[in-house]
Amino acid sequence: VQLVESGGGLVQAGGSLRLSCAASGRIFSNVVMGWFRQPPGKEREFVAARIRRDFNTEYADAVKGRFTLSADNAKNTVYLQMNSLKPEDTAVYFCAEAVPPFYSDNFYSAIAYDFWGQGTQVNVSS
């Protein structure tokens, strides 16, 4: 499985960006697609995740109400719509996929994910 992110860039505070994550290779059912980010000098942190089976989506408190994860199953692509961006959203954003059998059911943790994209940089200026 290969994951390729796109859509990062520089935006002013209050602006919006939409990140895309295209999956190719073997396509699994019942996967969990997640977004993580790594701010400068910090650990990688959870942003959002969707369990494909029931479309339940979880968000980090820091992004609730501002970010929306969506998917186009026909295109094997997951999106992260980011609105009302803040300077503290500046980070490298990664998409990730966890496939069954899951190593962990704690999908807030990076260790649960099997495949990762290369990351896309998001810079939010004040």
Q: What is the distance between the alpha carbons of residues 60 and 122, in angstroms, rounded to a whole number? A: 17
**Whole-number average pLDDT of the chain:** 92
Whether residue 51 is predicted with pLDDT greater than 80 in this model: the reply is no
Contact 117, 93 (CB under 8 A): no
Q: What is the distance between the alpha carbons of residues 83 and 26, in angstroms, rounded to a whole number? A: 32
Whether residue 68 is predicted with pLDDT greater than 80 in this model: the reply is yes
Residue 115 confidence (pLDDT): 95
Angstrom distances, CA of residue 31 to CA of 35, 40, 47: 13, 29, 17
How much of the chain exceeds pLDDT 70, in percent?
95
Q: Which residue has the tokens 């959870």?
A: 46
Residue 25 confidence (pLDDT): 83
